[in-house]
Amino acid sequence: MSSDAERLVGLSVEELEALADSLLAPAAQARLDDLLAGQKEKLLSAGEEGELDGLLQKVDQLTILKTRARYTLNQERTATTGT
């Protein structure tokens, strides 16, 4: 098994699969959609712009975590099958 720094360790296959398939919470996704629509129409206040930036950072972090989970799953499956 690789000591790759991008791998997530200590999680079961089921946990990694759940993480890889995870989504932003529905309320957060709805708020993000509203803020993005407001931004497109140039209707956001400074506070809303900050809120949008925060939500976009969460989306970025979630995307990175999901990618690492998928990468870990792939590495484990490759190590198991030897391909």
> Total domain count for the chain?
1
- Is residue 62 included in any domain, yes or no? yes
- Is residue 46 included in any domain, yes or no? yes
- Is residue 5 included in any domain, yes or no? no
In tens, the pLDDT along 63-83 reads 999 999 999 999 999 888 876
- Is residue 45 included in any domain, yes or no? yes
Global pTM value: 0.84
- Is residue 4 included in any domain, yes or no? no
Containing structural domain, residue 77: 13-81
- Is residue 59 included in any domain, yes or no? yes
In tens, the pLDDT along 40-65 reads 999 999 999 999 999 999 999 999 99
Single out the residue of 46, 60, 1, 54 nearest to residue 68, CA to CA. 60
- Is residue 65 included in any domain, yes or no? yes
